[in-house]
Structure formats: C-alpha cells, structure tokens
Amino acid sequence: MAHEFTTSYIKDSLSLFRYYKRLAERAIEQAPDEALFTSLDAESNSIAVIVKHMSGNMRSRWRDFLSSDGEKPDRNRDAEFETPPTTRRELLEKWEEGWRYVFAALEPLGDADVSRTVTIRSEPHSVMQAINRQIAHYSYHIGQIVFLAKHFAAANWRAITVPRGKSKQFTAAVKESRASQR
C-alpha cells in the first residue's frame, strides 16, 4: 500500500479497507482451487467459508448504514458458516458483493459524519467506532485467509507484503520512489 498522508479519517479508513481487500485477493490468487474449499480440521473454516461469512457481515453492517441497525433481521449468521461457494468464480463474486456494500456506504461520507450515531445489535456506536470495529473484524479474517492460502500454496507462495529478508531493500526502494516523485 502506497502511504498517503491524510488527516481525513474517512479517507484513511477507505485506504485501509482497500489495502486489506487487495491483500486477501493476492493471497486467494495463489491458493490452488481445491485449497479454497479445504479446512485444516473440523473446527476450522475454509477460505470459502470465511469469504461467505465476511460477505454476509458486510451486507448486514453496511447496507443502509446510517439508517438501520447493522445487524439486519434478515441476516442468518450461522448459515454463513454452512454451504460455502463451490467454485473460485462464485467465491470471488460473493467477495465482491460484500465489498460493494462497504464502499457504497463509506465513499459518500465526509469527516463530519464520523461523530454520527449508528447502531449495531441495538448498541449505539459513532460512525468512527463502527468503522474501527469492521476494520478489526475484516483484518482478522483476512489474516486467516492469508495464512490458509500461504499454507496451501506451500513452495509456490510469493510474498504479498515485504518478503522475508528483504526489509532493507524494500525500505530503500520506497525512499527512492518518494524522492523521484518530488
């Protein structure tokens, strides 16, 4: 993620959501098809189940974000962990569907909106609190997706952040890029 200085909470939040979305997508791209639907054990979720759950959460939390409770009455959270998508295409469609709700809700907001009140499970939250809650939730699950994709890709895995042992080269490249942009 190219860092951009901002004092806008909304702009920074959108940047973080896009960063984590892309991180998961880069991991999913590397996972073999069958790995998307494989869990490590009976108590673990597959990438497909995690995606279905995240999409369901996104639909509930962000649809009518400012005007209705973030836990919609038509959400069936338990069903999000059953019968996941069965193809890579279905999984990616479900993924994109969820993220459309996120960005449709947040892109029109301005920083004056962060102190507005929204509810989640009948509890009041400031818009800022609701956004923070979801950034934490999604980054948690995206970490799971990355872990599983890396596990199943094994020796074929290509780093999606700073490669191991390459921190100094990465930092130097970032500094050089910034200097050339001035």
* pLDDT at residue 178, as a whole number: 65
- Residue 104: predicted pLDDT: 98
Q: Give yes or no for a contact between 48 and 85, defined as CB atoms under 8 angstroms apart.
A: yes
Structural domain includes residue 4: no
Residue 23 lies in a domain: yes
Residue-level pLDDT at 74: 97
Please spell the DSSP secondary structure of 53-122, one letter per residue: HHHHHHHHHHTTTTTS-SS-TT--GGGGGSS--SSHHHHHHHHHHHHHHHHHHHTT--GGGGGSEEEETT
1 belongs to a structural domain: no
In tens, the pLDDT along 122-140 reads 999 999 999 999 999 999 9
| Within-domain flag for 59 | yes
- CATH number, domain containing residue 168: 1.20.120.450
Place of tokens 């759950």: 53
The pLDDT score that the predictor gives to residue 167 is 79
Determine the pLDDT at residue 67: 97
Residues sharing a CB contact under 8 Å with residue 59, sequence separation 6 or more, in sequence order? 72, 75, 97, 98, 101
- On whether residue 167 sits in a domain, the answer given is yes
Asked whether the beta carbons of 28 and 37 are under 8 A apart, the reply is no
Is there a domain that residue 17 lies in? yes
Stretches where the chain sits below pLDDT 70 are 1-3, 170, 172-175, 177-179, 181-182
Q: Which domain holds residue 107?
A: 9-181
User: Is 54 among the domain residues?
Assistant: yes
Q: What is the pLDDT of residue 64?
A: 98
CB 109 within 8 A of CB 62: no
Q: Give pLDDT, residue 1.
A: 53
Give a yes or no: residue 3 inside a domain.
Answer: no
pTM: 0.90
- Per the structure, the count of domains in the chain is 1
Name the phi and psi angles at 118, rounded to 5.
Answer: -125, 160
